[in-house]
Amino acid sequence: MDTLQAKIYNQKGKETGTVKLPETVFGLKWNADLVHQVVTSMESSARAPVAHTKGRGDVRGGGKKPWQQKGTGRARHGSIRSPLWRHGGITGGPTKEKNFERKVNKKMKAKALYTVLSKKFKDNEITFVDEIKLPGIKTKLAKEIMDSLFAEASKKKSNAILLSIPSKDKNVEKSFHNFSNVKVDEIRNMSPLDILKYKYVVITNPDRGLAMIVNKLKVKGEK
């Protein structure tokens, strides 16, 4: 049942109305265990293996026994590719074939998203804007919008505002591109990992935006 409400502002920072919010999205209790599990899984899945070592089968040389088995007074060795030798293979080292992906089901990911949104809403860190529209790629106008909606946040050097728009908008995306403290992305890409990186969240076109957020909980085949 919709019982929560929030104010809607225009891009000049003036109040234009209110919007009803679903409690299933903005009225949840904080669940640290769920959020931690989903976020760490998403971070792990996004990790690209970089470190790579060569085993004894990968290094060059060592086709011939370095010296005869007996009679030299030295220890027995079969190949200079042995991990015992300098420049030999590495035992148990990291390889680029390692898979860091962790699977998280869609409902868990959506529930974690709603939990983080609920926390942001309770902390007054979510703003609803009726529309952000620019006549062209105008960085100056983008700065004015930031100052109107978030005077303090606009002074932060990085990770201040996540601007969620219902669909791609070249003018908006490129106008805010020069600001390191703002990220513009489509609402359909919204994730708990992104939201936790930014202090404030802006949801534009609330009617469309909220419908897209609610639909994240629906799995294929459900109505």
Q: How many other C-beta atoms lie within 10 A of the C-beta of residue 83?
A: 13
**Residue 91 is assigned to a structural domain of this protein:** yes
**Residue 43 is assigned to a structural domain of this protein:** no
**Residue 38 is assigned to a structural domain of this protein:** no
* Residue 93 shares a structural domain with residue 203: no
* Residue 88 shares a structural domain with residue 125: no
* Residue 154 shares a structural domain with residue 83: no
* Residue 160 shares a structural domain with residue 190: yes
> Rounded to whole angstroms, how far apart are CA atoms 213 and 223?
15
- Please say which residue of 99, 119, 137 terminates a domain: 99
* Residue 119 shares a structural domain with residue 57: no
**Residue 34 is assigned to a structural domain of this protein:** no
* Residue 86 shares a structural domain with residue 111: no
* Residue 193 shares a structural domain with residue 140: yes
Q: Which amino acid is at 19?
A: V
Running DSSP on this structure, what letter comes out for residue 216?
Answer: G
* Residue 18 shares a structural domain with residue 126: yes
* Residue 18 shares a structural domain with residue 115: yes
**Residue 199 is assigned to a structural domain of this protein:** yes
Rg of the chain over all Cα atoms, to the nearest angstrom: 27
Give start and end residues of each alpha helix (H) in the chain: 23-26, 32-45, 106-122, 139-149, 170-175, 192-197, 206-214
**Residue 41 is assigned to a structural domain of this protein:** no
* Residue 87 shares a structural domain with residue 178: no
> Rounded to whole angstroms, how far apart are CA atoms 154 and 9?
17
Q: Print pLDDT tens along the chain (223 aa).
A: 446 899 999 998 899 999 999 999 999 999 999 999 999 998 888 888 788 899 888 888 878 898 999 999 999 998 999 999 998 999 988 888 888 788 888 899 999 999 999 999 999 999 999 999 999 999 999 989 888 888 776 667 777 899 999 999 999 999 999 888 899 999 999 999 889 999 899 999 999 999 999 988 764 444 4
* Residue 53 shares a structural domain with residue 22: no
> Rounded to whole angstroms, how far apart are CA atoms 216 and 108?
10
pLDDT of residue 222: 45
- Please say which residue of 83, 99, 115 terminates a domain: 99
Element (H, E) at 165: strand 161-165
**Residue 36 is assigned to a structural domain of this protein:** no
Q: What is the CATH number of the domain that holds 9?
A: 3.40.1370.10
Running DSSP on this structure, what letter comes out for residue 144?
Answer: H
* Residue 123 shares a structural domain with residue 89: no
**Residue 92 is assigned to a structural domain of this protein:** yes
pLDDT of residue 1: 43
What range defines the domain where residue 95 resides?
48-99
- Please say which residue of 56, 75, 99 terminates a domain: 99
> Rounded to whole angstroms, how far apart are CA atoms 67 and 70?
9
Please tell me the total count of domains within the chain.
2
Q: How many other C-beta atoms lie within 10 A of the C-beta of residue 26?
A: 21
